[in-house]
């Protein structure tokens, strides 16, 4: 096997056994980037020199560590890509906008700091929709990313570059961020695993804010076990982010292989409405696989996802207009004339919904409906009223769409993310895992949603499904 095709779990085992070095692993990933990224455009910045320098340091450390000490560095020597909206010290960070074309942060985001402390090698910064505005990676000021399974198709977004870099084996794993779908939807379209943690489980400090009440950093990986490993590193209270939770962090790897016999899966018809037949069939087939493992399926009624579109649009645009106000070109970056059309649209709509006379009519009403969505999920998960343990449905209504699909469609992202928006609005954790392919050979993803802070449970269900199938082993032909 080529070294760059390994998962974190496989690479770690071999690095520990000194089967190859971190330098060799990093070089294999850099070689893959050089070979294929002109076509895929997953990266904005590749950190070849610093990555090799850090890999040499990792090798030196590995040679001096006992097996027990090695375990203190859960990602030691592993090359990882980071979405370009996380601040990286001395590495250009653009959020895929020409406003920040020349911005080099003087500090690391907490997520990046934790990755480095765990021994990870930052190999580069991945392309995204500018400011994370979109679900196609076509709003990037650095050109659209393409789907490795078929480069005439979109990878999804906004973490499209991260998902494509993992699917194309340009890295061992990637870090993305999700406001409403930006991890799970590109993971689904690119045939990889995308985990969106509970809001507040991982720190937002140093993440360029889009919608501060929704943004959640998380991993995009080749297998479920790798997502558990990265979440173990990222999760926990951060004194630099007041929205992070004091809740203790469980051992996510410990329960991965636990039996799911008796687990109650909720299935809502509303999450299959308007979904492509191929997607519907594959997800229903995946639910049957979980039933064979002993899970119990219960039909439930959930707040129809289509109503979340209006709520999300108002809340997100309002927070965008506030967060983008700081980019005035005075302290750093370029002036506001460099904003793209999508950013301008969102700023204008957000400013409108927050303005005097319209605040109650739009923003305040959206917050009230958000509360109804939260209560609806609480009711569905309530054990005292016979609630379910997890909810399963398609991640996206369709497989990847052709390049150019988002052009002239201002609501493209909201439509592509309709099935993940409700859980994001409620701050719930969710994971997308590959569950098949369309006749066109494009990946299909299934999402598993749990109550707040139930990452261990959704990882367990996702892992047991993955072990029963071969989808995660299939690779695109580049």
Q: Where are the alpha helices (DSSP H) in 355-427?
A: 365-381, 412-416, 421-425
Q: From CA 70, how far away is CA 89, in angstroms rounded? A: 26
Predicted confidence at residue 161, as pLDDT, reads: 98
Provide the annotated active-site residues: 83, 158, 182
Please report which helix (H) or strand (E) contains residue 8, including its range: helix 8-16
Question: What would the pLDDT profile of 166-180 be if each residue is shown by its tens digit?
Answer: 999 999 999 999 999
Cβ proximity of 119 and 73 under 8 Å: yes
Would the pLDDT of 471 be above 90? yes
Cβ proximity of 356 and 282 under 8 Å: no
The separation between CA 288 and the C-alpha centre of its own chain, rounded to angstroms, equals: 26
Question: What would the pLDDT profile of 212-235 be if each residue is shown by its tens digit?
Answer: 999 999 999 999 999 999 999 999
Among residues 9, 450, 464, which one has the least CA distance to residue 227?
9
Q: From CA 276, how far away is CA 295, in angstroms rounded? A: 25
Q: Which two tokens stand for residue 416?
A: 């592509």
Predicted confidence at residue 408, as pLDDT, reads: 76
Angle, to 10 degrees, between the axis of helix 224-234 and the axis of helix 8-16? Answer: 80
The pTM score is 0.97
SS3 call for 219:
strand
Average pLDDT score, the chain: 96
Mean pLDDT for the stretch of residues 370-388: 96
Q: What share of the chain is helix, strand, coil (3-state, %, to 5)?
A: 40, 15, 40
Predicted confidence at residue 469, as pLDDT, reads: 97
**β-pair partners for 175:** 82, 219
Would the pLDDT of 416 be above 90? no
**Residue 87 vs residues 95, 183, 207, 438: alpha-carbon distances, Å:** 9, 18, 6, 37
Q: Supply φ then ψ for residue 204, to 5 degrees.
A: -95, 0
SS3 call for 334:
coil
Q: Supply φ then ψ for residue 177, to 5 degrees.
A: -140, 145
Q: Which residue has the tokens 């027990």?
A: 68
Question: What would the pLDDT profile of 190-209 be if each residue is shown by its tens digit?
Answer: 999 999 999 999 999 999 99
């Amino acid at each position: 096997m080529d070294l760059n095709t390994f998962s974190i779990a496989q690479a770690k085992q071999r690095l520990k056994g000194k089967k190859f070095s971190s330098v060799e692993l990093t070089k294999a990933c850099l070689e893959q980037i050089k070979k294929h990224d002109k076509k895929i455009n997953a990266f904005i910045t590749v950190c070849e020199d610093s990555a090799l320098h850090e890999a040499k340091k990792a090798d030196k450390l590995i040679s001096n560590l006992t097996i027990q000490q090695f375990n203190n560095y859960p990602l030691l020597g592993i090359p990882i890509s980071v979405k370009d909206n996380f601040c990286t010290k001395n590495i250009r960070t653009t959020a895929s906008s020409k406003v920040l074309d020349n911005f080099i942060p003087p500090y690391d985001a907490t997520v990046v700091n934790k990755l480095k402390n765990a021994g990870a090698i930052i190999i580069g910064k991945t392309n995204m929709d500018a400011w994370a505005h979109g679900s196609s990676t076509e709003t990037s000021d650095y050109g659209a990313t393409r789907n490795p399974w078929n480069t005439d198709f979109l990878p999804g977004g906004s973490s499209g570059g991260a998902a494509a870099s993992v699917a194309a084996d340009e890295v061992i794993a990637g870090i993305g961020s999700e406001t409403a779908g930006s991890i799970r939807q590109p993971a689904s379209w690119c045939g990889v695993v995308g985990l969106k943690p509970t809001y507040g489980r991982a720190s937002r400090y140093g993440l360029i804010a889009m919608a501060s009440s929704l943004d959640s950093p998380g991993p995009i990986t080749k297998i479920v076990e790798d997502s558990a490993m990265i979440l173990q590193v990222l999760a926990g209270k951060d004194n630099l982010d007041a929205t992070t939770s004091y809740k203790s962090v469980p051992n996510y790897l410990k329960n991965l292989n636990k039996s799911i016999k008796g687990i109650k899966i909720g299935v809502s018809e509303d999450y299959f409405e308007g979904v492509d037949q191929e997607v519907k069939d594959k997800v229903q087939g995946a639910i049957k696989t979980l039933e064979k493992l002993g899970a119990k399926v219960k039909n439930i009624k959930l707040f129809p996802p289509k109503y979340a579109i209006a709520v999300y649009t108002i809340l997100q645009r309002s927070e965008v207009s506030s967060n983008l106000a700081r980019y005035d070109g005075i302290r750093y970056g370029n002036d506001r004339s460099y904003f793209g059309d999508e950013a301008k649209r969102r700023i204008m709509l957000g400013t409108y919904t927050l303005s005097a006379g319209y605040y109650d009519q739009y923003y305040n009403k959206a917050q009230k409906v958000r509360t109804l969505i939260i209560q609806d999920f609480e009711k569905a998960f309530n054990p005292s009223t016979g609630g379910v343990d997890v909810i399963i449905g398609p991640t996206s209504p369709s497989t990847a769409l052709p390049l150019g699909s988002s052009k002239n469609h201002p609501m493209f992202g909201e439509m592509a993310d309709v099935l993940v928006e409700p859980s994001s609005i409620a701050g719930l954790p969710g994971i997308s895992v590959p569950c098949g392919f369309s006749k066109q050979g494009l990946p299909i993803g299934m999402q598993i949603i749990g109550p707040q802070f139930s990452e261990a449970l959704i990882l367990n269900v996702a892992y047991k499904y993955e072990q029963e199938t071969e989808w995660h082993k299939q690779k695109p032909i580049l």
